[in-house]
């Protein structure tokens, strides 16, 4: 059996990211996803893909509304009743996991174009009940295992790693500064699908002036609302195609790993290390990193473990989730869209390497190594 060439991401778009209850609060999850699916398919057709046959739609999602959201979104996008869909929940890694599932299907020999990414609408997610009691999230681990809330886990990680309040504030401020500069220089425009009158991420710069004054979320702690990401609405989608159709990002290798569920924030570090080993490259050979910034302490812990400087200009060069927002099921796809803009849209030469990664609740990490092909 012949080995298929690596699939290529040939188009990538996203919505603006908006804090729960703000500009996108009136749009249900499929109403966020459908316009992005349509935009990505149109982009793929413009670079030579056959838009008459989409083999599958794969979307990450964490909070509902339940059912097969990817299929609902595909129908809402008018892709045709023949286009199936599958919804994936790998928590904060869901959007990237969906992209990698699309890659795996094509690599195995199915040559159909796939649309993959993620969507989250906490603003419209239903109230969930168990034994008559409302709950905000399902367990990430069973009884007998650590299952901390994500804010508690981020605070604990800061303690374990000795990450100070000052480092966290500086890291969050840097994310906002970079995002504000990118917004001013219009670097998000080509990837954006405006919705509900919003054409930019609405959290950029909001927390930055408040960082020194915000109280800790835990008594005696270092974590604040400014060094934690906003609960956000948003969607991101890419088109994954067989090699040779169009320029883009070839997915060279990827992995999902497990880690201590008590400290889930570190998961991206072993995942990135694993794909670097698999590819036979080191951190210095990567031109662009996009790692989901769930919390400043979490992001710093990952960078420390990878031996990357916290102000490394290759890491979230246009700001990360601390500035842009964190729509959980979509964030893993947002970082892929950002890599596409930073490397493909910017004209980076063939052979340029990038990393997309996320730490995941419950103690996991996910990462992918991509390479520009022209």
The residues annotated as belonging to the active site are 92, 326
- Long-range (24+ apart) CB contacts under 8 A made by 46-50 are 47/10, 47/11, 47/245, 47/246, 47/247, 48/245, 48/246, 49/10, 49/11, 49/113, 49/239, 49/241, 49/245, 49/246, 50/113
Separation CA 217–CA 101 (nearest Å): 37
Nearest to 179 by CA among 238, 121, 229, 249: 229
How many CB atoms are located within 10 Å of the residue 26 CB?
12
CA end-to-end span of the chain: 27
Burial zone of 186 (CB within 10 Å; 0-12 exposed, 13-18 middle, 19+ buried) = exposed
Encoding tokens for residue 177? 């500064």
Specify whether the CB–CB gap between 100 and 6 falls below 8 A: no
Report the Cα 127 to chain-centroid distance in Å: 24
């Amino acid at each position: 059996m012949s080995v298929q060439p690596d699939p290529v991401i040939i188009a990538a778009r996203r919505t603006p990211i908006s804090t729960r209850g703000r500009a996108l609060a009136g749009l249900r999850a499929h109403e966020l996803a459908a316009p992005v699916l349509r935009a990505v398919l149109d982009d793929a057709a413009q670079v030579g893909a056959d838009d008459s046959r989409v083999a599958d739609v794969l979307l990450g999602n964490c909070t509902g509304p339940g059912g097969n959201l990817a299929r609902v979104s595909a129908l809402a996008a008018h892709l045709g009743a023949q286009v199936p869909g599958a919804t994936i929940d790998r928590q904060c890694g869901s959007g990237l996991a969906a992209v990698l599932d699309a890659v795996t299907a094509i690599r195995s020999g199915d040559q159909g174009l796939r649309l993959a990414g993620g969507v989250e609408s906490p603003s419209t997610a239903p109230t969930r009940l168990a034994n008559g009691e409302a709950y905000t999230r399902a367990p990430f681990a069973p009884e007998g295992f650590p299952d901390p809330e994500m804010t508690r886990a981020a605070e604990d990680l800061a303690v374990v790693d000795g990450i100070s309040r000052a480092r966290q504030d500086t890291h969050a401020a840097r994310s906002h500064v970079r995002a504000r500069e990118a917004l001013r220089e219009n670097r998000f425009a080509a990837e954006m699908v405006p919705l509900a009158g919003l054409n930019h991420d609405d959290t950029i710069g909001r927390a930055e002036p408040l960082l020194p004054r915000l109280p800790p979320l835990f008594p005696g702690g270092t974590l604040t609302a400014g060094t934690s990401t906003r609960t956000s609405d948003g969607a991101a989608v890419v088109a994954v195609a067989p090699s040779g159709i169009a320029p883009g990002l070839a997915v060279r290798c990827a992995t999902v790993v497990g880690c201590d569920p008590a400290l889930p924030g570190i998961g991206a570090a072993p995942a990135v290390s694993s794909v670097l080993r698999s590819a036979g490259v080191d951190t210095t050979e990567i031109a662009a990193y996009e790692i989901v910034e769930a919390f400043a302490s979490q992001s710093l812990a990952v960078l420390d473990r990878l031996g990357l400087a916290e102000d490394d200009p290759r890491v979230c060069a246009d700001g990360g989730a601390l500035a842009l927002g964190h729509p959980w099921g979509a964030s893993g796809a947002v970082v892929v869209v950002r890599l596409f803009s930073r490397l493909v849209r910017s004209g980076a030469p063939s052979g340029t390497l990038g990393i997309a990664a996320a730490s995941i609740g419950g103690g996991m990490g996910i990462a992918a190594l991509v390479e520009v092909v022209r």
